[in-house]
Amino acid sequence: MIKIDTDGHIFLIKRKDIEEGIRLLRKRSGIPVLSNGIYRLYDKEGVLLYIGRGSKVLNRVLHHMRGKSANTRNFFREIESVEIHLLPLYSKGETEDLEQYLIKVLNPKYNELKWSDYYIFNAIKGFEI
């Protein structure tokens, strides 16, 4: 089972039913297709594997779950749960800044930091997390 937590609403989806499950999740939760957000992917032991962002966050998560993303192609079968944080008021740049900050602070197993510490901590100064 894949556990998806969207800001406190928890959905359990069988891996083989992931596409239908995401469609139903969108319908039941009211999450629009163009939802900006940050997501975290975990393995069955709760180890943080990957942090990402997307302007169509559920579609992005679906690509990861199916192994269709170059970022997660080598480990997508390890993914057992997903935590999604919707950020409808954040710009693309703000979401990217937050993603890099979270990667720096939480150190997921498969992410690579793209920015310097200096840039990350200066970019994140205005955020309330």
Dump pLDDT digits (tens) for 67-125.
888 989 999 999 988 888 888 888 888 898 889 889 988 999 999 887 676 666 676 66
Helices 18-29 + 57-65 axis angle, to 10? 160
Is residue 59's pLDDT more than 80? yes
Is residue 56's pLDDT more than 80? yes
pTM of the entire predicted model: 0.82
- How far is residue 65's CA from residue 82's CA, in Å, rounded to a whole number? 10
Top pLDDT among 46 and 24 is at 46
**Average pLDDT in the 6-18 region?**
75
Q: Residue 36's pLDDT is what?
A: 87
Q: Residue 127's pLDDT is what?
A: 63
The alpha carbon of residue 31 and the mean position of all alpha carbons in its chain are separated, in whole angstroms, by: 14
According to the per-residue pLDDT averaged within each range, which of 13-22, 45-54, 73-82, 89-98 is highest? 45-54
- How far is residue 35's CA from residue 101's CA, in Å, rounded to a whole number? 20
- How far is residue 109's CA from residue 75's CA, in Å, rounded to a whole number? 10
- Look at residues 30, 32, 48 and name the one whose alpha carbon lies nearest to residue 40: 48
Torsions phi, psi of 51, nearest 5?
-120, 135
CATH topology of domain 2-90: GIY-YIG endonuclease (3.40.1440)
- How far is residue 63's CA from residue 8's CA, in Å, rounded to a whole number? 22
